[in-house]
Structure 1
Amino acid sequence: MNYCNIKNFDIANGYGVRVSLFVSGCTNACKGCFQPETWDFEYGNPFTKNTEDEILKIMDEDFIDGLTLLGGDPFEPANQKALIGFLKRVRKERPSKNIWAFTGFTYEELKTDGSYARTEVTDEMLDLINVLIDGRFEEDKKDIRLQFRGSSNQRLIDMNLTRDSGEIILWEDPIKSIL
């Protein structure tokens, strides 16, 4: 797997201060995508153990809330297989940090046997994630007022509550809930 960027102190792609990994490769090719260069699976640099080490070192900072995966698409089948070991490592070595992931695939597509995006590691990958932002970017539903997503069809799914309840539960912004 290749990646095109690592943002060390990102506040735009998830709650709090995050390390964001932008992976390469996406077959969704959404019209109006803000990073079409990331559709190419060969774009950027190889994701190696040194890359993992670099990300984990940045995550040592107390003010870093977690890791965000986006791209490209981390749920492209080839990317899932490359990321699963890293996500396990993050959970083991940085258990207090949360993990967010963006995907153009819907949660339902990821859970449906036989769908393009479902692999032998999809469920395990979903189990390691705290928040999943799902759905393709739809240019006609673009709304710059939305938090952490580009179009109104996209959902912020609280994966912990979704796993516990067995049904999709949307993520609630903790700041909004106290206002």
Structure 2
Amino acid sequence: MNQMIVEQLFSTEEHMEELSELLIQVVDDGASIGFLPPLQLPEAMNYWEDVLSPDVILFVAKRNNRIVGSVQLHLCEKPNGVHRAEIAKLMTHPHYRRNGIGRSLMEKVEKRAIKEGKSLLVLDTREGDPSNLLYTSLGFIQAGRIPNYAQSETGELQATNIYYKVL
């Protein structure tokens, strides 16, 4: 059976290899999520070792018990921002794209944000990426564009779009 489940991870330790492989695959495929290709295994593992904290909730999508996607919900703990959260690092393994994984992860993270009492979600994504279409289809509104935000592997400076959704 080719069933997909989305679940929260409370520890990255037992999933370190799969999470690192996911990160390497999406970065090497061109995703703009803070890293440049080629991403090496030690750097990927180092990232996952430090990702979880009390204000970061990690969800993974599994197909056939294998991690094929992930997303993070960063809860704002500042006194003036306890009502909001940021969605970060939505990833779908390149071999599993266009199968609803990103949408399922986003729906799960939004439900969790509501459960946490959040009324505003924010995120950013590189201008022109397919994720822009996903976010707008889920009701996110583009608040603006920042030019020259992230550098590509070729040194080109690329714009990012900022989105929000009132829950």
TM-score of the superposition, structure 1-length normalised?
A: 0.36
* Bigger proportion of residues as strand: 2
